[in-house]
Amino acid sequence: MSKVFIGLDIGGTKLIAAAADEHGHIIKRERAATPLPLEKGLALLDEMIAAVSEGAPIAGIGAAAGGPLNWETGVISPLHQPEWRNIALKARMEAKYGCRFSVDVDTNVAALAEHHHAADKPSKLLYLTISTGMGGGLVVNGEIYRGMNGEHPEVGHQSVPYRVADHRTVACSCGSNGCLEALVSGNGIRRLYRKPPEELTASEWEEVAWNFGQGLRNLAVIYLPDVIVLGGGVAFGARESLLLPATEIMRDHLKIVPHPRVMTSELGEHNVLSGAILLAQRIAD
């Protein structure tokens, strides 16, 4: 029986597990709602791994989870899963499955997948996700860029000059003011406009796009990526009503550096799972 590579997407609302062959092609996939209790969540992951691997030997397991986490020790404390605190996931999984296990922040994992599937293999690819929250991952020469002590840079918590109708202070859930996440994420939009993103009017989208364009401008002028790839539910839902005006705002304000390409992810919502399988393949080599 040939070995399989397992990819896990551990999200606050859903768990996805998949088994892939040595070419990364998915053989079987399972999806379930994330149970609140930790023990139930871990037991469900085991069931899903058993279901997708169908008894085949496991070569490696790659996983994506919400931050914060330590990618070296594999200890995770995903912010949106309150019962998952200081979980030594790598130690648990390696002991249980007898293979190598690697976990990284979901946006990093998605960024790896976007880079892997990009036809022109850009030397610097910045992936941004706009969903419930907002974050990103930067891939430099095929490797994830990490900050001090291996920490994950939080691009959603940069401040930007923003436009909102009544000029009030925009408070962010991180405790600071004026963060990009508080202006463009699903939660931020709900707080600011008192409705979900899919109900925003054209002029409200214009405002969101202006604010997002300021964030793109900051990221472009500091990181100078070749390409910026957008993903996440809010970005996929908004498509051109966000992408085009925000890119234009970025270009209008970007004077002394080359302009990166800005595009919507072609992998779509599968980029996280696809990246988790890549992680499994990387560690199994």
**Residues contributing to the site for Zn ion (CB under 5 A):** 157, 172, 174, 176, 179
Smallest distance, Zn ion to C-beta of residue 187, A: 11
Between 81 and 185, CB nearer to Zn ion: 185
Give the integer Cα–Cα distance in Å for 72 and 27: 28
Smallest distance, Zn ion to C-beta of residue 147, A: 16
Between 218 and 281, CB nearer to Zn ion: 218
Between 100 and 157, CB nearer to Zn ion: 157
Smallest distance, Zn ion to C-beta of residue 158, A: 9
Smallest distance, Zn ion to C-beta of residue 37, A: 29
Smallest distance, Zn ion to C-beta of residue 171, A: 9
Between 116 and 157, CB nearer to Zn ion: 157
Between 6 and 179, CB nearer to Zn ion: 179
